[in-house]
Structure 1
Amino acid sequence: MKLFDVYPLYDITPVQGNDVYVTDDKGTTYLDLYGGHAVISIGHSHPEYVKAVSEQVSMLGFYSNAIQNPLQVQLAQKLGAASGCDDYELFLCNSGAEANENALKLASFQTGKARVIAFKNAFHGRTSATVAATDNRNINAPINAQHQVTFLELGDTDTLEKELQKGDVCAVIVEFIQGVGGLDEATAGFYETTDRLCKAHGTLLIADEIQCGYGRTGDFFAFAKYDVTPDIISIAKGMGNGFPVAGILIHPSITAKHGMLGTTFGGNHLACAAAIAVLDVLGEEKLMENVSEISTYFLEKAKAIPQIRQVKGRGLMLGLEFDFEVGDLRKKLIYDKHIFTGGSSNKKLLRILPPLTIKKEHIDTFFAALEDVITNA
């Protein structure tokens, strides 16, 4: 049997990770400035993470959600304290797409409505409702067309208000910093007006924090910069440092009913152990403070390279935009300089999503390599 060929692959086979580095099967070590799509939050193979997962799997790796799981309660308490969202409730699942799927489903349950408003260049997942709310026709199959989704320009409050006035919108779903779409972010006025309009028209605001959350911006959530109160917050990537775990934080105004949401694997014992370890390390090592410090240093270093047209994003969710497409640049960085970076739907943008443990010397290494590759192109 062969693998279904849906991924264009670099000819690199990582076999080991250590903090901000991965080593391949040939013994070559790479500086990881992409973290597997912002998944690696506390560094590859962090010892506390390895210990927590190893100890848990030696006792009990899995049982269903039909029984008591104190680790879920512990995770919810730690997450509430770390995020400042103590009054929300937690539903655990397995992936970002599943988190957003449940968020949209819950919004429809709560409001009795079906239409969703999303924004151009949005990426919310590849499952049924989430892919319909993703602005990419190439990954939408005909079966997804059953969903009622309206795409608006990010920042267009006038059109948003007109759409909400129609009274049929269950949810507005928004990334407070777009990930795959290219690190675009609207103004405080837009986000705060969106929050107000949703509340005025009986529509739920879903904050998709799957990539921009979990400390990546220097705040626990990217929306924390603004005066907004999302009804549902979706979380995933950095939550498990590579272990498949995700969830939604649900405002207390939404009432749970048995059977309305469910999952087999979500919130299993191993997933909870991984997620608890991540929160512990985020706090113990003051990684959000590190994000802010390293981000400031990164921005200063970027000023020295005139080919960079602008730097987009916040914290350690950053994009370097050039006047040229960056595909070849990424290849040279990975094969010649042994540095992982990322792309986006904006072909001129180089995405930087490193582990939150990154240090200034790693940033120095990157910019020296970047300058050399550009100069000798």
Structure 2
Amino acid sequence: MKLFDVYPLYDVTPVAAQGIEVTDDNGQKYLDFYGGHAVISIGHTHPHYVSSLKEQLDKIGFYSNSIQNPLQRKMANKLGELSGCNDYSLFLCNSGAEANENALKMASFHTGKSKVIAFKNGFHGRTSAAVAATDNPSINAPLNQQQEVSFVALNDFEAFQNTIEGDSFCAVILEPIQGVGGLDEPTTEFFQFVAEKCKEHQVVLIADEVQSGFGRSGKFFAYQHHNIQPDIITIAKGMGNGFPVGGVLIHDSFKASYGLLGTTFGGNHLACAAVLAVLDVMEQEALVQNADALGHYVKSKTSELPEIKNVKGRGLMIGLEFDFEVAALRKALIHNQHMFTGGAKNKNLLRILPALNITKDHIDLLFEGLKKELS
């Protein structure tokens, strides 16, 4: 059997990794400034992470959600403590798409309505409602197009006001920092306006923190830069440092009932051990603060490269925008400088999404590599 060919692949085969260093099958080492789409939050094979998973695997790796799993409660308590979101309840699943799917479903249950407002260049996943709320027609099959979604430009107050008027929407879903779309953000004034209008029209506000959450923006959640409170928060990617796990934080004003949401693998013992290890390291190594500090350092370094026309994002969720398409630059960085970086829907944008425990020395190496390829 062959693999279904849906991924364009670089000719690199990683076989080992440590921190932000990845080693391929030829022994070549690479610096990872992309973290596999912002998934690697505490570094590859962090010792505490590895030992936690090994220890848990020796005990029990999986059982269904039909039994008690104290690790789920322990993890929820730790997450609430570090994020400041103790007035939410946690539903665990397996991915960002599944988290957004359940968030949209919960909003529809809660309001009795079905239409969704999403934002241009937003990305929320590839499953049914999540992909319908994603601004990319090429991955939106006819089956998904049965969902009713209205797309509005970020920071367009009038368009949002005109769209939300009426009585048909169950949810507004919004990335505090767009990931795939190219690191654009709502302004604080716009985010607060959206939150106010959602409350006024009894529409559920979903903050998609799948990529921007777990400290990446320099706060635990990126919406916390704007002094608003979403009804639902979705999480995944960095929460498991590579172990497949996602979650939905649902405000305590929502009522739970048996069977309302469900999953086979979500919240299994290994997943909980992975997330607990990530939270331990984030707390012990002050990674949210490090992300904030190094985000400012990255922005200060961009003055050394006149080719960079704009800097987007916050913390260690950074986009470097050029006046040319960056595909060739990314390829050169891999093959010549041995550095992984990312692209975006904006073809001129280089995405920087490293582990949150990188250092200024690592950032210096990135800019040295960029200077060599741009000279």
TM-score (norm 2): 0.99
How far, CA to CA, are the matches of 1:245 and 1:2 in structure 2?
A: 27
Correspondence for 2:348: 348
How far, CA to CA, are the matches of 1:180 and 1:40 in structure 2?
A: 17
Structure 1 residues 235-258: Cα deviation after superposition (integer angstroms, max 9, x where no partner) = 001000000011000001100011
Note if 1:234 corresponds to 2:234. yes
Correspondence for 2:82: 82
Structure 2 letter corresponding to 1:136: N
Structure 1 residues 316-352: Cα deviation after superposition (integer angstroms, max 9, x where no partner) = 0000000000000000000000000000000000000
Structure 1 residues 246-291: Cα deviation after superposition (integer angstroms, max 9, x where no partner) = 1000001100011110000000000000000000000001111111
Displacement of 1:294: 1.3
Structure 1 letter corresponding to 2:16: Q
Displacement of 1:165: 1.6
Structure 2 letter corresponding to 1:193: F
Note if 1:50 corresponds to 2:40. no
Unpaired runs of 5+ in structure 1? none
Displacement of 1:161: 1.9
1:256-271 residue pairs with structure 2 within 5 A? 256-271=256-271
How far, CA to CA, are the matches of 2:45 and 2:134 in structure 1?
A: 32
Structure 1 residues 161-211: Cα deviation after superposition (integer angstroms, max 9, x where no partner) = 222221100000000000000000121110001001000101000000000
Displacement of 1:147: 0.3
Displacement of 1:157: 2.0
Note if 1:167 corresponds to 2:159. no
Note if 1:157 corresponds to 2:157. yes
Task: Decide which moves more: 152-161 or 332-341.
Answer: 152-161
Correspondence for 1:40: 40
Correspondence for 2:291: 291
How far, CA to CA, are the matches of 1:162 and 1:337 in structure 2?
A: 49
How many correspondences in the alignment?
A: 375
Structure 1 letter corresponding to 2:68: Q
- Identity across the alignment (%): 62
- The 3-state SS of whatever aligns with 2:312 is strand
How far, CA to CA, are the matches of 1:62 and 1:105 in structure 2?
A: 26
Stretches of 4+ moved more than 2 A in 1?
A: none
Structure 1 residues 112-155: Cα deviation after superposition (integer angstroms, max 9, x where no partner) = 00000000000000000000000000001110111010000111
How far, CA to CA, are the matches of 2:31 and 2:332 in structure 1?
A: 13
Correspondence for 1:147: 147
How far, CA to CA, are the matches of 2:321 and 2:159 in structure 1?
A: 29
- The 3-state SS of whatever aligns with 1:283 is helix
How far, CA to CA, are the matches of 1:227 and 1:199 in structure 2?
A: 15
Computed over aligned residues only, the root mean square deviation of the Cα atoms, in angstroms, reads 0.6
Correspondence for 1:280: 280
Correspondence for 2:28: 28
Unpaired runs of 5+ in structure 2? none
Displacement of 1:156: 1.5
Displacement of 1:298: 1.1
- The 3-state SS of whatever aligns with 2:370 is helix
How far, CA to CA, are the matches of 1:208 and 1:289 in structure 2?
A: 21
Structure 2 letter corresponding to 1:106: M
